Amino acid sequence: MSAIVRSNKRPFFLFLLPGLLIYVFIYIYPMLNGVFYSFTNWNGFGRTFSMVGLTNYLKTFTNMRFYRSLWFTLKYTFFLTVLANGLGLILALILNRELRGKIFFRAMYFFPAILSMVTAGLIWNEIFYRIVPLFGEAIGSEALSSNILGNAKLALYGILWVHIWQYTPQAFVLILAGLQAIPSMVTEAARIDGASPWQVFRYITVPYLIPIFEIVIVLTIKYGFVIFDYIIAMTNGGPGGATESLSVLIYKLGFNEARFSAGCAMSVIMFIIIVALSFSQLSLLREREVIQ
């Protein structure tokens, strides 16, 4: 019997093998290779290098440019997580009701998500450069009367706006699917027992949506920390390094400054931070999850 089971498993393994090899070649091997080079002094172009131990990591933790980029990335990720998922939840609650034309609005609102990040960044770059200043002058706003991407204090919010505009539809679709999976008999029983809409939302809707929140929050943290395309397309890290995220800094270290090993060390640190934040969020959310 065991021999028959093993023979039946063999075709499934053969079907999985091509995808597994591609995954190992594209993801696992480069990751392990990056960890290895983080302990060297390789510049990314030469054929020779030597082992330097933890030197790159020690230099990273004494580099003020790293802390400035880390602070920008943390702040950006926090605002993206709260605003994008909050807006996605509000829209999902609205469009989950019986409204005329809700299918049309669902399709239209998801449109930004199908654009590439570079395309969205270039479109909004032109809007911030040509249209927003005209609007700022019309309403008498000094802050909006010029391109906000050229303002060190406002450039972050310009990039953040584009990211929220494009990512919120993804969170909206996931949360909407979670809302539609909530058993109607549970909410109906709560309303019959006299529960207010707020009580239904707090004690039924939110606990049932915890698995969805786990997904969207982890995705948002990842998207926030690896933010790259929008910044390259809109500011290239400027003005004066005000929008230089960790991903952009790692890219510049490796390809512009020939400090590939330093960039690898920084990417390993960023990976550890993302994992730590993701696990902390999952552990906090699972305490309120409904076990079905």
Supply φ then ψ for residue 38, to 5 degrees. Answer: -65, -15
| Residue 232 within any structural domain of the chain | yes
Whether 31 maps to a domain, the answer reads no
Q: What is the pLDDT along the chain (292 residues), one digit of tens a residue?
A: 455 555 566 677 778 888 889 999 998 999 999 999 999 999 888 888 899 999 999 999 999 999 999 999 999 999 999 999 999 999 999 888 877 777 777 777 788 888 889 999 999 999 999 999 998 898 888 888 889 999 999 999 999 999 999 999 999 999 999 998 888 898 888 888 888 889 988 888 988 898 899 889 989 999 999 999 999 999 999 898 999 999 999 999 998 998 999 999 999 999 999 989 888 887 877 766 655 5
Q: Is residue 187 part of a domain?
A: yes
* Residue 217 placed within a domain: yes
* Closest listed residue to residue 43, CA positions, set 246, 265, 269, 255: 255
- Rounded Cα distance between 136 and 130, Å, is 11
- pTM, 2 dp: 0.88
Asked if 260 contacts 248 with a C-beta cutoff of 8 angstroms, the reply is no
Which domain covers residue 115, as residue numbers?
A: 48-286
Give dist(CA 187, CA 203) in Å, integer. Answer: 10
Domain presence at residue 182: yes
Residue 71: give its domain's CATH number: 1.10.3720.10
CB contact at 8 A, 218 and 276: no
CA 66 to chain CA centroid, nearest Å: 20
- Domain count for the chain, please give it: 1
